[in-house]
Amino acid sequence: MPDARAERPTDPSAGGPLAGVRVIELAGIGPAPFGCMMLADMGADVVRVDRASAAGDPGAVDRALNRGRRSIAVDLKRPEGVEVVLRLTDGADVLVEGFRPGVAERLGVGPDVVRGRNPRLVYARMTGWGQEGPYAQAPGHDLNYLALSGLLHAIGRADRPVAPLNVVADFGGGGALLATGVLGALLERTRSGVGQTVDVAMVDGAGQLATAIHGMRHEGYWEDEREANLLDGGAHFYDVYATGDGRFVSVAAVEPQFYALLLRGMGIDPAELGDQDDRSRWPAGSARFAEVFATRTRDEWCAILEPLGACFAPVLTLDEAPHHAHAVARGGFVDVDGHAVPAPAPRYDRTPLTAGAAPVPVGADTDATLAAAGFAPDEVARLREVGAVA
């Protein structure tokens, strides 16, 4: 797979669609780093402001999400450290922070202060519950945001919701929405000439991802219970089944023509299962599908069903996915820091995205970044002396 460890171009005319955009990221965890990773993949010059106390700590660097940006180590509890961040944002396009509401203001780097100095700045705030409301100051994680949005209730088997991976609210409803919000604000700035504050909440994003489900509910096509609907495992033709070797396959033959192809490949007479849309027959269909899929291995089913185009795919493990023929053909994974990771997306034909270099140690770029921002050598030495940077 392609090696993505080469240095990122610094020429604004090169790189992805955000080449020339400067982003200051106040270090956090989860969705904010993911959103900033997306911006860096798109060519933005992202400087991560890490905690000075983390300098030299290899465990402080998220090897998966912190690729493609520089790191400076700053103590925001010192006024000199706050001034460092403010001077950096004076020449930036975007600032991203993931503190609880009010923390940035108490530190002296809230939107009123920062945008008062640089009115063109886009100030992006990433939280779980948003900047206001009864839960605004409450702690939480992906599962909690899914729960309050109503989406968790719809995920799982009939007897209980299940805890999905933290990709729905954290990274889809959080980090990806953060990147989208920043892009929208940057585009609007080309018309107005000024930036704005973007309030990104994971609970909002999780709810937004369920818009289509709410639509089906309002139209009478979705029952407010699990495993009773077309897309939640209720339908036998939209589910996951175990194969004879203990692996799994997925089928999603919603349309009649694909359903017919699936039944043909499985060797099932359509008359045996009756009308595809008769929900009363779905449980019996699920039992029959489970019986048939258990008669062959996963790869045997791939050989039978893939050529038919029956809305079928094998369930691959995380180790298998980078090596599948489709991923290989599209360059779906790249090498970063010696590990296969999903390639940047989406794909642009003129300004292709590049997965940035492997994460650097905390504070590795402090001197160079401050020098580029106009700090004199004696200023940097003084900042080190008082512990404002590391």
Catalytic residues: 141, 170
Own/partner contacts of 322-327, CB < 8 Å, gap of 24 or more, are 322/1
CB 52 within 8 A of CB 71: no
Pairing outcome for strands 248-252 and 312-314: antiparallel
CB 24 within 8 A of CB 91: no
Count other C-beta atoms under 10 Å from residue 60's C-beta. Answer: 19
Using DSSP, state whether 381 is helix, strand or coil: helix
**Reduced to 3 DSSP states, what percent helix, strand and coil does the chain have, rounded to the nearest 5?**
40, 15, 45
Residue 341's H or E segment, with its range, is strand 339-342
For 151, the token pair is 């989406």
Using DSSP, state whether 227 is helix, strand or coil: coil
113 exposed, middle or buried (CB, 10 Å; 0-12, 13-18, 19+)? middle
DSSP readout, 192-222? HS---EEEEEHHHHHHHHTHHHHHHHHTT--
Residue 271's H or E segment, with its range, is helix 270-273
DSSP one-letter code for 52: G
Residue 242's H or E segment, with its range, is strand 238-242
Using DSSP, state whether 366 is helix, strand or coil: helix
Which residue in this structure is represented by tokens 């171009």?
A: 9
For 26, the token pair is 């106040």
